[in-house]
């Protein structure tokens, strides 16, 4: 996506996009909001910059008033800032469209007193005629799918077959480091082949049969293991998490694991020896795969499900179960 230009939008345009998804009326097919919707559906990870007329230290990003709606300059200025305040964002911030949509639905469940007010104090503050229609709130109840369609089931099933054919024949499997640890959690939770969403249980079973396999440590949502995942985008990005923050927190997990084990990207390791080292040197997921070092709010791109799991939990249980199978010695 390095070739994908940043798209400047107004915060209210995201609210309008969501509002339309809750309306039964036919929307104009060629206006700015429809264009934005098509862009997000076609390239959900397009970087969007939220721009608002605020001046002062943020004047560098002021968009001007060409895209103000008919409610007037003052209302448009305040509505944009109301939305940014609820998103806990500053003017000029850039995030992938997918993250912004999810953050919007999570942080702003209603447009009450944002797009329209309980009390109208002057014509300049009448607000949007649709603010009290319930369309926005109905769209929030529908969730992400109107804006971010899920990955097709037949595509994932085909990728499962194709990737497993490769894994079963491979002597070197490409894998991002931290999901070697994820496989231990899955094992504790009784994930066994065939497993629809990734190929980790299959890889672990291959290794438990003591077949010689090497792993090459690579960044990102590697195809070898993640090909069938419902949270792997068309570009090969990992988009798990409540606001699809995996592009941030999974990279941190990879780096935490490699630091703990003395690895770097590009290392090619004997897979069984790699698991022996993991089990011996990583006694707990806390602070490694569970990013518990810093408290973050639920809408943060750093918030992942593993950080809220109980410790000790699945990893610690799986570590005990696999300890002897991978040749570890002494007490667990």
Quick check: 256 pLDDT over 80? yes
User: What are residue 220's phi and psi, to 5 degrees?
Assistant: 85, 180
- Looking up tokens 């109301």 gives 82
Quick check: 166 pLDDT over 80? yes
Confidence of residue 2 (pLDDT cuts 50, 70, 90): low
Quick check: 30 pLDDT over 80? no
Quick check: 3 pLDDT over 80? no
Q: CA–CA separation, 95 vs 8, rounded Å? A: 11
User: What are residue 286's phi and psi, to 5 degrees?
Assistant: -60, 125
Sign of CA pseudo-dihedral 135, 136, 142, 145: positive
Instruction: List beta partners, residue 8.
Output: 49
Confidence of residue 315 (pLDDT cuts 50, 70, 90): very high
Percent of the chain with pLDDT over 70: 99
**b/e per residue 143-172 (b: at least 16 CB within 10 A):** eeebbbeebeeeebeebbeebbeebeeeee
Confidence of residue 86 (pLDDT cuts 50, 70, 90): very high
Is the pTM higher than 0.85?
Answer: yes
- Please give the full DSSP string across 213-237, using - where no structure is assigned: -EEEE-SSS-HHHHTT-TTB-TTS-
- Count of helices and strands (H, E) across the chain: 12, 6
Q: Are 13 and 36 in contact (CB under 8 A)?
A: yes
Percent of the chain with pLDDT over 90: 85
- Looking up tokens 């090497």 gives 214
pLDDT at 309: 85
State the chain's mean pLDDT as an integer.
Answer: 94
Lowest mean pLDDT among 69-73, 257-261, 309-313: 309-313
Residue 180's nearest CA partner among 198, 156, 158, 166 is: 198
Confidence of residue 280 (pLDDT cuts 50, 70, 90): very high
Q: What is the pLDDT of residues 212-242, one digit of tens each?
A: 999 999 999 899 999 999 999 988 999 998 8
């Amino acid at each position: 996506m390095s070739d994908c230009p940043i798209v400047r939008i107004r915060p209210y345009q995201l609210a309008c996009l969501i509002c339309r998804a809750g309306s039964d009326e036919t929307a104009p097919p060629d206006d700015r909001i429809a264009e934005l919707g098509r862009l997000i559906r076609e390239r959900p990870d397009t970087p969007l910059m939220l721009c608002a007329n605020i001046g002062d230290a943020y004047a560098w990003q002021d968009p001007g008033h060409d895209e103000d709606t008919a409610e007037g300059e003052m209302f448009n200025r305040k509505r944009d800032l109301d939305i940014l305040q609820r998103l806990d964002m500053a003017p000029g911030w850039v995030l992938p469209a997918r993250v912004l949509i999810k953050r919007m639905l999570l942080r702003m469940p209603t447009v009450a007193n944002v797009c329209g007010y309980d009390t109208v104090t002057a014509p300049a503050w009448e607000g949007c005629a649709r603010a009290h229609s319930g369309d926005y709130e109905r769209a929030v109840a529908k969730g992400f799918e109107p804006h971010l369609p899920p990955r097709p089931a037949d595509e994932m099933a085909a990728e499962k077959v194709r990737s497993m054919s490769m894994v079963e024949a491979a002597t070197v499997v490409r894998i991002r480091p931290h999901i070697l640890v994820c496989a231990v959690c899955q094992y504790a939770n009784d994930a066994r082949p065939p497993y629809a969403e990734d190929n980790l249980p299959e890889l672990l079973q291959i290794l438990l049969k003591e077949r010689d396999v090497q792993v090459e440590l690579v960044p990102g949502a590697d195809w070898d293991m993640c090909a069938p995942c419902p949270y792997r985008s068309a570009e090969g990005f990992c988009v798990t998490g409540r606001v699809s923050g995996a592009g941030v927190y999974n990279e941190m997990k990879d780096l935490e694991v490699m630091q703990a084990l003395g690895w770097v990207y590009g290392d090619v390791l004997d897979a069984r020896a790699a698991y022996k080292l993991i089990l011996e040197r990583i006694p707990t997921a806390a602070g490694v795969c569970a990013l518990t070092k810093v408290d973050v709010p639920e809408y943060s791109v750093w918030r992942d499900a593993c950080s809220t799991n109980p410790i000790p939990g699945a990893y610690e249980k799986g570590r005990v179960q696999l300890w002897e199978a991978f040749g570890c010695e002494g007490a667990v």
